[in-house]
Amino acid sequence: MKMKVLIVFGGVSSEHDVSLVSARSVINNIPADKYDVLTMGITKEGVSYLYTGSPDNLPEGKWLENPEYLERCVISPDREHHGIIHIGSGETERVDVVFPVLHGKNGEDGTMQGLLEISGIPFVGCKTAASAVCMDKSLTNALLDYHKVSQAKWVAVNKFDFTGEKEKFAREAADYLGFPIFVKPANAGSSVGIRKASDIESLVDACDYAFEFDKKIVLEENITGAEVECAVLGNDEPIASTVGEIVPCNDFYDYDAKYIANATGLYIPARLPDEKIEEIRQKAVRIYKLLGCSGLTRVDFFVRESDGEVMLNELNTIPGFTSISMYPKLFAASGIEYPELIDRLILYALEN
Ligand SMILES: Nc1ncnc2c1ncn2[C@@H]1O[C@H](COP(=O)(O)OP(=O)(O)O)[C@@H](O)[C@H]1O
Ligand SMILES: [Mg+2]
C-alpha cells in the first residue's frame, strides 16, 4: 500500500508566495509510485483547504480561484485521528506523514512543527525547538556565540526598548559594529525587511523599517566576502552536500536579487579551494548538530575576503525547494536527484 503524504503550502507568512512555488515543485516531483499525495493550502489569512486542483495553479494564488477544488479542512491535534478533519462532513482522514513546504513565520518557525508533534504525525524537517531557534536570528546568534562559532558581530533590540532612544541606540550600535550595518527583523526570511545602513540617519530608518516585520530586530556588522551555502540532510548522522556560491546581482542578496531580477550568479561548486569547501561542509554539519536540526537545513556562510574566515550567516530549516533552488541543486550535484531527495526526506521523517 502506498503511503499517504500531506503536503502543506502557503501560510500566514511574508514568504507565502515563495512557498507556493516550492510546493509546486515538491508535488510535481514526489515519486508517484510510492506516495499518495494530499495537498493542503493555507491562505494568507490562515484559512486551510484541502486542494484537489493542479499543482501548476499554486503560484500567484491561482489555486484559490476555483471553489470546486477547495474543501475546508484542518490538521487534527488528536493522535487518534493522525491526520486531517474534513470540516464539512466532520470526517477524519488518516495521513502517514506531513511535508510542510512552508517558509518563514507560522510554518518554518516551530509553530506548525508544534502542532504536528502534538498530532503525532511524522513530518519532514526540524522539530519545534530547532525550527524556532533557526528562525530567530538573535537566538541563532546567541547560541552559536556560546559554542564559539565564528559569525558577524551583532546586537539585538526590542521595539519597546528602541523607541524613545533611537539615536542613542543607533550611535552605540554604530560604535560597536562600524558602518555599514545590516538591519534585519529577527524573524523573517527571503530578505524581507532587511536594509543596509551607512550612517546614523539611515540606521534609524532601517530599524524602524525592520520593526514593521517583527518586534525584535538584529543589527550586524557587514562581512565582505563570498556568500556560500551548504545543504545538510539527515538525522543523527547528517550528510553535507557540496558548497554553492551566490553572487547577488544587487548590492546584497535582497528579495529582488533572489526572486525577481533573475541575474544572480550561482556557482556549484563554489569558486573556493577544495580545503575551504571541506571546511565549510564540516562546519555546516557541526552547526546543524549543535542546533538540534533534523531532516534538512541549508546552512549559509560568508567566507571573509580579508582572511578567508568561514563565518555563519544563518540557517534555513525549510529552504527554497524549487527544482532550481540551491538546496536541491546542491544535492543533485552530490548525486541525489530531486525525487530521491524528497523520498529520503520522508524516510528521515518516519525514522524520527
Ligand atoms: N552581516 C552581513 N554582512 C554582509 N551581508 C549580509 C550580512 N547579513 C546579511 N547580508 C546579506 O543580506 C542577505 C539576507 O540576509 P539573511 O540574514 O540571509 O536574511 P534572510 O533570512 O532574509 O535570507 C544575505 O544573503 C546577504 O546578501
Ligand atoms: Mg538568507
Give nearest CA residue, ligand 1 atom 21: 189
pLDDT tens per residue, the chain (352 residues)?
Answer: 899 999 999 999 999 999 999 999 999 999 999 999 999 999 999 999 999 999 999 999 999 999 999 999 999 999 999 999 999 999 999 999 999 999 999 999 999 999 999 999 999 999 999 999 999 999 999 999 999 999 999 999 999 999 989 999 999 999 999 999 999 999 988 899 999 999 999 999 999 999 999 999 999 999 999 999 999 999 999 999 999 999 999 999 998 888 888 888 999 999 999 999 999 999 999 999 999 999 999 999 999 999 999 999 999 999 999 888 999 999 999 999 999 999 999 999 999 8
pTM above 0.85, yes or no: yes
List of residues 6+ apart from 114 with CB closer than 8 A: 128
Give nearest CA residue, ligand 1 atom 27: 253
CA of 222 to the centre of ligand 1 (A): 9
Per-residue pLDDT at 256: 87
Pocket of ligand 1 (CB under 6 A): 152, 182, 184, 188-191, 194, 220-223, 227, 248, 252-253, 300, 313-314
**Where do the domains of the chain lie, and which CATH numbers do they carry?**
3-123 (3.40.50.20), 134-150+223-351 (3.30.470.20), 154-221 (3.30.1490.20)
CA of 191 to the centre of ligand 2 (A): 6
106 vs 13: CA distance, rounded Å: 7
CA of 212 to the centre of ligand 2 (A): 19
Structural contact between residues 313 and 227, judged by C-beta atoms closer than 8 angstroms: yes
Per-residue pLDDT at 340: 97
Atom of ligand 1 nearest to the CA of 191: 22
Give nearest CA residue, ligand 1 atom 24: 253
Structural contact between residues 112 and 8, judged by C-beta atoms closer than 8 angstroms: yes
Distance of CA 18 to the CA centre of its chain: 10
CA of 229 to the centre of ligand 1 (A): 12
Give nearest CA residue, ligand 1 atom 8: 182
Per-residue pLDDT at 258: 86
What grid cell was written down for 161? 526598548
Per-residue pLDDT at 324: 85
Residue from 187, 194, 230, 300 to probe ligand 1 pocket by mutation (most atoms less than 8 Å from CB): 194
Q: Is 5 strand, coil or helix?
A: strand
Residue from 144, 220, 313, 326 to probe ligand 1 pocket by mutation (most atoms less than 8 Å from CB): 313
Structural contact between residues 9 and 21, judged by C-beta atoms closer than 8 angstroms: no
Q: Of the candidates 39, 97, 27, 144, which has an alpha carbon nearest to the alpha carbon of residue 295?
A: 97
